[in-house]
Each structure stands twice: as C-alpha cells, then as structure tokens.
Structure 1
Amino acid sequence: MPTKNQQIEQLTALNNELENYFRNTIIPQLFVDADLKLRKFTPPAMKQFNLSENDIGKSMHDIKENIRYNTISDNIQQVISSNKILEREIQTTDFRWYQMNIIPYITIQDNKTNGVIITFVEITQRVKDLKELEKVITDHEILLDTISHDIKTPLTSLVLAFKVIKNMPPENVADIQNLLQIQEQSVLKMQSLIQELTDTREQEHKYQAEEELLDVENIVNDVRLTLNGSIAQSGAVINSELNVPKVTFSRHKLRSIIYNLVSNAIKYKSPHRTPEILIKTERENNCVVISVKDNGIGIGETEKEAVFSKYFRIKGNVEGSGIGLYLVQQHVKYAGGKIILESEPDKGSTFKVYLRAE
C-alpha cells in the first residue's frame, strides 16, 4: 500500500499532467461546478470569455463573455438538471461561429452531476459554406426559371410564325420571307440565351455569376430585339435616358432584369393609350439606379408586395407565368441591391433597381 508521501506524489503528478493539458490544448474548455462557479479553463477559452486567473471561483453570471445572445448560464442549469449533453451553435461578438457542447460531469461514486464541461469548436467556415450552398441552390432554381421564362417569348413567336406560314398562299413570297426572318431571329435568340446560361455554369467562380463592365445601351438593344414582335404588335414606344452608360454586373442577369421589366410594361399596357416606356439610369449616392417607367394599368397598393412573389399574376387576361418580377427581385437581392415600386392604378408604374456602384 502506497505511503502518504507516495500518494501525495501521485496526486501531484496527476495534477501536473492535468495542468499541462490545460496549458497546451487548442480546444476552448470551461469547467463549471454545480453551483455555476468557474473551476478551471483552458487558454483558448479566452476567445469566448474575457478570463483571468482571478475569475476562478466566480459565478458564471458575473463573468463577461464575448457571445452574442448569451444564455450560457441557463444552458448549464438545463444540463445539470437533465444529465443530458446539450449542443448549440453560437456566435461570438466578432461574428465567428462555434459549436458549443455542454457535457454533464458525473461523479463515479454517487452517479450525480457535479458540474459541466463546456467545449467550443469553431465552425465559421462550415456556416459560410452552408450559406454559399443555399445561394447555389437558389441560383439553380433561378436558372431553371430563367430558362423556362426567357425562352418562352421567342419560342411563342416561332410557333406563331409557323402557323401563319402554313396558311399563307405560296405567291406571298415577301410575307413568307419576313416571317422566316422572325423565325430565324427567334431561334438565334434562344441559342444565345442557352449559350449564356451554359457559359455561366462553366465559369471558374462557383458561387456567383461573373461580373463585367457592361454597356447598358447594348443590353437595352438586345432586349428590344428579343421583344421585337411584342413591341410591333402593341405599338410601344421605348425611349432611354442613360445618364450612367456603363455598369458592372452579370450580363445575363442585367439582361433578364431589363427584359422582364420592359416585357411586363408591354403586357400590362392600358387599353386606352399607346404604351410609352422610359428606361433610365442615374447615380444616387453609392448606387446605380436603373428605372423602367411605363404608362400602363398600374398596380394597386395591396398588390405592390405580392407582385414579386413567385407565380403571382395581376388579374387580367394577360399571358405569362408570373415569375418575371420574382426573377428580377432575386437577381437584385443576391447582388446586394434592392428594388422599389412606385405605382398608381391607371397611371402607370416605375420600377427602380438599385445596384451597388463600384
């Protein structure tokens, strides 16, 4: 049987090993007793708490922490009462994320919880990756919606042109050639859209579409060409006032924004007047504002929020799938911008898209 001195030496050796572990571990840990008093901590724990040796023996209620929305004392009490491990994701005041585990410390002799061990494992990168993954999923949904929505117009023009040609006398050569030209433009436009979307998927940056310095007038002209049939049929007059001629943005997303706003302006024209549409760019503080103003049927106050919802459509006999404005809002939102709608029934609407300027 070991002597008293030998027992003291063994306890001292064990204590030294324990102290050495605390000094060298890279894991933030706190040891808190059943009275919620701090008994020991590892140096890395100072990232979450402003600790010093003077804090040993203090109540956790009195210790200053660097955790946002802290409920740590309540969590400790919950673990002591339940004898169950508690896991939570917490964020510190420097906006880093940690997985916090509170483990009951159970004494062998009486099998009771005599306190808790709290560990922190940093998961900041994992949280960022999850957020990026959510963006990827959203971008894929938007991509599918864009394909179905933006290809619909040229495809419809193509089908209508085929129907007209089938019923047209052979001697109307000039008319047939015009319709064939419309068909060719529609096919080329669909081909261009598919190529743009394919290029976006293949780019090096996984999480966001490539941005470039764009000439807004070129984008507007591209939209005019795409909507050529609708413009001719409605007699719409489209003017532009480009006080900011260039903007840094994703090409296909900017084209989609302007296309959808102009397309809606034509679709929801007033039956009492010729559609007049003004596309304008201007600088406001640190933003480039792209606005599309029309003299159409306008939008009531109760529908201003709803128009940006997926599949929502204003009542009326107007062709469409109800995702155009949803796509616009999603593109703008994920670029860190905002969109504002100003409208009155029978007085037209103005959509203002705010994009951050470089």
Structure 2
Amino acid sequence: MLSTNEKISELIELNEELENYFSNTIIPQLFVDANLRLRKFTPPAMKQFTLKEEFIGKPFEEFIDNFRYPTIIENISAVIESGEILEKEIQTTDMKWYQMNILPYHIKSKNITNGVIVTFVDITLRIRDLKEQEKMIAEHELLLDTIAHDIQNPINCLGLSIELIKRLSNEQMEKFPRLLNNLEGSLENMKDVVNGLSETRFSRNTYNATDELIDLENIIEDVRLTLSFQILERNAKITLELHDTQLYFARRKLRSALFNLINNAIKYTPLDKTPEIIITSKVEHEDFIICVKDNGIGISEEHQETIFKKFERLNPDIEGTGVGLYLINSIVTSAGGSVTVSSEVGKGSSFEIKLKDALKQPQS
C-alpha cells in the first residue's frame, strides 16, 4: 500500500505527464471540467483561438467568442451529460472548417464524467477541395445533359426535313430550297454543339463557360434562327418587350435556357392554336429579370412543384426527354439565381428567370 508521500509523488508525476502532453500536442486541444471551467489548453489552441493563461480556471462562457462557434458550450454539456463521444464537422463564424471531437473525461472509480477534452483539426482546405470537386462533377453532369439536349433538336429537325423531302412531288419542288436550308441550319447547330464539346474537352475538362457582356436581344435572335423550322411550321408569334438588354452572363448558358423555354412554349401549345410568346426583361433591385410567357396548355399546380426535376415530363404524349426545365433550373441556380413559374391549365405559363449580380462586371 502506498504511503501519503508516495501518492502525492505519483499525482505530481501524473500531472507532469499531462502537462507535458498538453505542451507538446501539435493540434488545438482543451480540457474543460464538469463545471464548464477551462482547465488546460495546448499551445496550438492558444494560438488558434487567442487564449491566455489567465483564462484557466474561469467559466468557459466568458471567452466563448474566441472560438467563433456559438453552440460549443451546448455540445460540451451534452457530452458531459451523456458520457458519449461527439464527433462533428463545424464551420466557425470566420468561415473556417474544423473536425471537432469532444471526448468525455471519465473517473472510473466514481463512475462520473468530470469534464471533456475537446480537439480541433483544421479541415478548411479539405472542405474547399471537396466543394471544388463537387462543383466540377456538377458542371460535368450539366455539360453532358446540355449537349445531349441541345443536339436532339437539330437531329429531329434533320429527320423531319429529310422525311418531307422524300414526300415532295414534282409540283412541290419549290419547297425544296427551304427544306435544304433547314438541313444546313441543323447541321450548323450540330457543329456548334460538337465544337462546344471540343472546346470544353481542351479546357481542363471543365464547363468553362465564362461570364461576358452580352445583349439579350442578340441571344433571342440566335435562338429564333435555331428554332426557325418550328416557328415557321407553327406560325409562332414571338413578341419582345425588352426594357433592359445588356448583362454579364455566360452566353452559351443563357442561350440554352432561352432555347428550352421558347421551344417548350411552341411544343406545348395545342395544334389548333397559334403559339404566342412574349419575352420581357427588366432590372429590379440590381437583379436582371427575364420572363417568357406563352399561351400553351399550362401546368397544373401539383406539377409546378416537380417540373424542374430531372426526367420529369409535363405530357408523355409530346416528344421530349424531361431534361429541358431541369437544365434551365441548374444553369440559373448554379449562378446564384432562381427560376419560378406561374401557370394555369389551359391558359399558358409564365417562367421568370432572376439573375443575381448580372449587372456587375466579373473580375478577371
């Protein structure tokens, strides 16, 4: 049995080992007792959270702001109460990320938790890398979806034009030049899509669509030319009410969004009705707002909640992939904007695209 002096000596030795451990640990660590008072901290914790020696023994809440994580006391209290380890990724108010582990400090002889040891591992760079990877994957998926969707229209137009040429009689040959123009236009559109893919392939494999100063009216005219066959076939009427036209955005992305909205407006208008499309634009509270309104079949309220999901089809009887509205939403939301729809069955739909910071010149 140990004497009193030997017990004291052993406690001093254990305390020195603990002091040595905390002094030489290369990661930020704290020891907080069951009364939520700070008892020890490592030098990296002192540096990371601007701790001072005079903080030792004081209530943790007196310097909670140093940790820039408001719920840390709640997390510590939960571990003391439950005796269970808590591991979580946290973001502090200075936008840094940490892997925070809170381990209960057990006294086995008394079967109590007498405090916790809190460890912080800075994972900011790792989180940033993960977010960049997620962004890259999302951009790749968006690129592939856009290419697959954009190339479908000229392919359909090619097929339809070829079929019409086959049916031409000698008396109908005056239509041949127009059909030939449709064939050439479709081929040019396909070339644009393929060239866009090639440019992306040699740009570090990313969807490198950079923001530039563009004119909305020019983008709409480009879409009109692409959809000329459908517009002529349905005698579609497109009215422009553009109050503001210049904005900073990725040309290809905005073109793709408007192409899908105008194409849908024509496609989802009943055959016994002339498609009427009104496109408006304005600047409101520094947001650039584009609205595309049609007189088509409309969208029921229940479907308005799901139309922006991938492969969601408005009408299975009308040809399509269910990707168009999903692409529009992905393009706009990835740029920090939003897409909303207002519609009534049988009375048409109105899609509003709100682009954030589209009036600010992007930094080079």
Q: TM-score range by the shorter chain?
A: 0.7 to 0.9
Gaps of 5+ in 2: none
User: How far 1:271 moved relative to its partner?
Assistant: 4.5
SS at match of 1:353: strand
Correspondences of 1:96-245 after superposition (within 5 Å) = 96-102=96-102, 116-169=116-169, 173-203=173-203, 209-245=209-245
Distance 1:342 1:115, change over 3 A: closer
**For residue 69 of structure 2, what is the amino acid of its counterpart?**
I
Is the deviation greater in 255-264 or in 49-58? Answer: 49-58
Partner of 2:317: 317
User: How far 1:266 moved relative to its partner?
Assistant: 0.5
1:60–1:73 contact (8 Å) kept in structure 2: no
**For residue 352 of structure 2, what is the amino acid of its counterpart?**
K
Distance 1:220 1:207, change over 3 A: closer
1:282–1:290 contact (8 Å) kept in structure 2: yes
SS at match of 1:306: coil
Gaps of 5+ in 1: none
User: How far 1:355 moved relative to its partner?
Assistant: 0.6
Is the deviation greater in 207-216 or in 288-297? Answer: 207-216
CA distance in 2, matches of 1:336, 1:129: 20
Distance 1:117 1:316, change over 3 A: closer
User: How far 1:99 moved relative to its partner?
Assistant: 1.5
Distance 1:207 1:41, change over 3 A: farther
Is the deviation greater in 168-177 or in 315-324? Answer: 168-177
Distance 1:291 1:27, change over 3 A: same
Please state if 1:72 is matched with 2:66. Answer: no
TM-score normalised by structure 2 residue count: 0.81
Per-residue deviation, residues 77-111 of structure 1 (Å, max 9, x unmatched): 389x46xx65321121222111223456789x99x
User: How far 1:315 moved relative to its partner?
Assistant: 3.0
CA distance in 2, matches of 1:97, 1:167: 66
CA distance in 1, matches of 2:276, 2:135: 36
**For residue 122 of structure 1, what is the amino acid of its counterpart?**
D
CA distance in 2, matches of 1:120, 1:207: 36
SS at match of 2:336: coil
Per-residue deviation, residues 245-269 of structure 1 (Å, max 9, x unmatched): 2111111100011001101111111
Distance 1:343 1:46, change over 3 A: farther
1:196–1:252 contact (8 Å) kept in structure 2: no
User: How far 1:15 moved relative to its partner?
Assistant: 5.7
SS at match of 2:307: helix
Q: How many residues align?
A: 346
2:102–2:119 contact (8 Å) kept in structure 1: yes
RMSD: 3.5
Sequence identity of aligned pairs in percent? 46
SS at match of 2:296: coil
